[in-house]
Amino acid sequence: MMKKPLWTKDFLGISFISFFLFIGFYILLTALPLYVLDDLHGTEADVGLVTACFLISAVLCRPFTGKWINGIGRKKLLLISLCIFFISSFLYLLADSIPFLLALRFIHGIGFGVATTATGTIVADVIPDERKGEGLGYYALFMNIAMVAGPFTGLTIIRSFSFDALFILVAILALFGLLLSLIVKVPERKPLQKVREKLSFASFFEASAIPVAIVGGILAFAYSGILSFISVYATELGLLKAASYFFVVFAAFIILSRPFTGKWFDLYGSHKIIYPAIVIFAVGMFVLSQASGAFVFLLAGGLIGLGFGTLSPSLQTMAINRAAPEKRGLATSTFFTFFDSGFGISSYALGVVAAYMSIGSLYSILSVVILLTVIPYYFLCHYQGGRGTQQTDLSA
């Protein structure tokens, strides 16, 4: 039997919408700290608040998004969230004070949180069931490319032009995403029954996705140490020039491995992909902690890209596959709520810890944390599920 096509117009459309969302996010993540310090004359604490406001609003709205997806409809919710994201992106041109910027970041985070949850749900419906691992792996690749292109683009625009030019670019990218959403055909799923539902934990979180989401949150906690401290660490080592290529190597390893890892997930099952990926991620983090030259530093980037870049879409696939089709939106929002929470908690907690030890020592500890994640993964996602879970995860 021939496989159902993966690279359809709708799959590409949703993937590019995700790309435009994330490249705007990473451009601002890199550039706004400089804008706050230089143009708004803020402090380092203000920089932290600007980042935190965005993440907090994104995390807070995700559980509601999972509930809204079936109530409002996937297409309508996507359009609403992308409108919020676009308008917020445009309003950075008017952000001339810290309070205004903080309010704008909170609203922008809502648009981002709802839109990324919606796209993650829609793409799961667009991808053929027998190619879920492969399809979500390629979908994640668009986010990985944005993670590399965003910081590079942001810093280049700032050096060559101005912050106004950067904000205009971010608004244009958001507009591209909004326009694409108009031509993408979105599969809609009606709720099983139309009844008044009491507000409860189950109405905001998909129970079947929580074990996988917990593991994802732990790994996101560890990975956040890379995003938060890699430039500081590179400066300490005298490798600031090499730091600009860290995520390029990171993305290159993901791109080279993606055609294989996604297919292996579908063919051999989640466990045979996730255990090796956790080990590779842990080894990469330990290699980074021992780096003293550019080669080892960049090698660590490649290993971390291969490990974490495989884990993220694989765990998301597991969370979605465990849920009933009409609950995929709730499963997606549950996964990303825990995943983003791991990032948010780490941003603060690791900053406190880093004040008492070197960044290299911190990365050594994180490598152990990553390796120990095999324990909660085994008991929450592997042992508990038995053959039944393997069937659900396309792992039999």
Can you give the pLDDT at residue 200?
A: 58
Can you give the pLDDT at residue 255?
A: 82
Set out the domains of the chain in order of their start, with CATH numbers.
Answer: 1-187 (1.20.1250.20), 206-396 (1.20.1250.20)
Distances (CA, A) of 111 to 11, 58, 164, 292, 348: 21, 8, 21, 41, 23
Cβ(18)–Cβ(116) below 8 Å = yes
> How far is Cα 51 from Cα 106, in angstroms, rounded to an integer?
9
Can you give the pLDDT at residue 154?
A: 83
- Report the Cα 181 to chain-centroid distance in Å: 20
Structure tokens at 208: 């079947």
In eight-state DSSP terms, residue 70 is: H
Helix (H, G, I), strand (E, B) or coil at 198: coil
> How far is Cα 105 from Cα 250, in angstroms, rounded to an integer?
28
Low-confidence ranges of the chain (pLDDT < 70): 1-2, 44, 188-203, 347, 384-396
Structure tokens at 83: 């409108």
Can you give the pLDDT at residue 177?
A: 96
